[in-house]
Amino acid sequence: MQRAAIPLLALVVLACNGRPTADHMSDRQAKALIEDWASQPHSVRLGSMTVVRNEEPQWAKGEINLFTFELIEAWAKAGVVSLEVPKDLTQGFTGWNDWMAHWGSGIDKKIVVTPTELGRKFETVTTPAGIQFLRIPGPTCKVHRIVQNEGVKKGADAYRVLLATYEVMYSPEELAAAAARGTPERSPEKKCRLLLRWDPFKETWNVTGADVVDADREFSTSDVFESILH
């Protein structure tokens, strides 16, 4: 299923022949990196939130955008969380304050998200700021073949392009959430095109661009190429 936009993770891959470097990454190390990247858990925010039309909501103040709300809604339809909407300003106003909140401040909804009995089997984590998330395990991934593992230099920066075929095994909850969003998984067999960028300070490769498609289809996105050009 599609994933929400999240902070990039610095993926450190260890192999029997040492760590990857800016100049070299073995196919075994590339395989481990891809399997780690494709198996990242899902995070669903819990508690009271305000859904706003602003694409850059104030996360610390409990604001989320419409895209995040749609993800939460999908997990609710999958039975993982309970979604209550005590106020929905898209359905009408009860006074001037509601009108100002909707049209002046861009507020669409007030929501409350709690784990269901099913969701409580997953781990709840709390950030230092006191924000709670339900951490839902990601799929398991097995890389079949590394098709390309090539270094690219752009100025002083070192990049690496990986092409691979792999299989993902989704949980019933992930499949239900994907179906609820109208993006049911067609096939567990995938192929990916990843762009990695070397961090010389942390000495790790970061995934900075990714294109993923079913193995029997052509790529319909060009995130990797656009990331290199920009």
CB 184 within 8 A of CB 121: no
pLDDT band for position 229 (50/70/90)? Answer: low
| pLDDT tens figures, 40-54 | 999 999 999 999 988
Whether the Cβ atoms of residue 80 and residue 42 lie closer than 8 Å to each other: no
Instruction: Compare 113 and 5 and report the one with higher pLDDT.
Output: 113
- pLDDT value at residue 48: 97
| pLDDT for residue 4 | 43
Query: What was the pLDDT predicted at 95?
Result: 77
Reply yes or no on whether the pLDDT at 182 is more than 80. yes
Domain locations in the chain?
A: 17-40+139-229, 42-136
CATH architecture group of domain 17-40+139-229: Roll (3.10)
Structure tokens at 8: 């990039």
Say if CB 227 and CB 195 are below 8 A apart: yes
| One-letter-per-residue 3-state SS of 76-122 | HHCCCEEEEEEEEHHHCCCCHHHHHHHHHCCEEEEEEEEECCCHHHC
Query: Contact, 172 vs 203, CB < 8 A?
Result: no
Query: Would you state the torsion angle of the CA atoms of residues 154, 7, 150, 19, taken in this order, to the nearest 10 degrees?
Result: 110
| Confidence bin at 7 (pLDDT 50/70/90) | very low
Closest of 149, 155, 157 to residue 198, by C-alpha: 157
Total length of the chain = 230
Q: In the prediction, which pLDDT does 224 show?
A: 85
pLDDT at 216 over 70: yes
Closest CA to 65 of 76, 83, 53: 53
- Cβ contact 185:3 at 8 Å: no
